[in-house]
Amino acid sequence: MTALQDALAGAGTATVARAYAPGTAPAGIVPTQRSAAPARSLAAVPERADAAEVEVLWERYTTTHCPQARERLILHYVPLVTAVAGRIGMRLPSTVEHADLVSYGMFGLIDAIEKYRTDRAVKFESYASSRVRGAIIDELRAMDWVPRSVRTKARAVDRAYGELEATLHRAPTEAEVAERLELPVGELRAVYSQLASVNIAALDELLAGSDDRPGAATLSDTLGDRRAEDPAGCVEAQETKYLLSRAIECLGERERLVVVLYYYESMTLAEIGRVLGVTESRISQIHTAAMTRLRTRLLDAERA
């Protein structure tokens, strides 16, 4: 995955994260079912549980489904969730918080504890690691707004670019990438348009090379404001108005009058003809001649 929504889980996830956050259990080696492991209970119970106590907790939970035993087992295996979340987080963007991954993984741990059977030949750590990893990946996929097919295409395009750059020692062209992927160039461009929405970036993220002092350059500083006036466009429009007014002044009196009545007073050619006492066709000829002269003068002014 290249990018993911930076959002927290729902209320249920937040509740579990507060109840079973990584800080509630001491950090250390991931506990095993056969070795001593640190744990912290919810009430007045011993802070450390050795192998014998863990086996007692498993026997008590599997026979009576005691909520207290379930709580102790969850807290005992929290470091396992932390370790799995850390391994997955190394391959994810920085926008994904480690605490969120731990929260997602807690659902997998709870599900693993509820479904595990002590009479099986599989160690609980191996079984729970798979369930925790699956819970984290499922939650990340549910939060992702980009279809998995687009993610697959993005990885294929990146892989093709990397292989071609290593072979050609330069940036490959579209045709070369399309040939590598065995796709028409038009279909490759369609893939590019789909990939345009895959990557996201925070507007307040500092640009590369900027320090973290107040007022440092951010990505939003590089975006243009469409509501702001274009200085070059304003100067060009003012210059065009000036040249056009000078060109109109050089027209004959009747041609200038036709231009003013037609473009500034919004009169039709027939109405102008009645004002000047000539036919509409004559007004059309005058208008055409005036436009030709204005166009010629503007072109001459541009060349100068």
Which pTM was predicted? Answer: 0.46
The gap from C-alpha 293 to its chain's centroid, in whole angstroms, comes to 54
Average pLDDT over all residues of the chain = 78
* 3-state DSSP of the chain: CCCCCCCCCCHHHHHHHHHCCHHHCCCCCCCCCCCCEECCCCCCCCCEECHHHHHHHHHHHHHHCCHHHHHHHHHHCHHHHHHHHHHHHCCCCCCCCHHHHHHHHHHHHHHHHHHCCCCCCCCHHHHHHHHHHHHHHHHHHHHCCCCHHHHHHHHHHHHHHHHHHHHHCCCCCHHHHHHHHCCCHHHHHHHHHHHCCCCCCCCCCECCCCCCCCCCCEHHHHCCCCCCCCHHHHHHHHHHHHHHHHHHHCCCHHHHHHHHHHHHCCCCHHHHHHHHCCCHHHHHHHHHHHHHHHHHHHHHHHHC
Which residues, in sequence order, are bridge partners of residue 38? Answer: 48
pLDDT in tens, 214-233: 666 776 777 767 777 778 88
* Highest mean pLDDT: which range of 40-44, 65-69, 132-136, 224-228: 132-136
Which residue in the block uniquely carries the two structure tokens 């480690």?
98
Question: Which percentage of the chain shows pLDDT scores above 70?
Answer: 77
pLDDT surpassing 60 at residue 45: no
Please tell me the predicted confidence (pLDDT) of residue 232: 84
Contact 219, 204 (CB under 8 A): yes
How many CA within 13 A on the CB side of residue 92?
20
pLDDT in tens, 138-182: 998 888 777 778 778 888 888 999 999 999 999 899 889 989 988
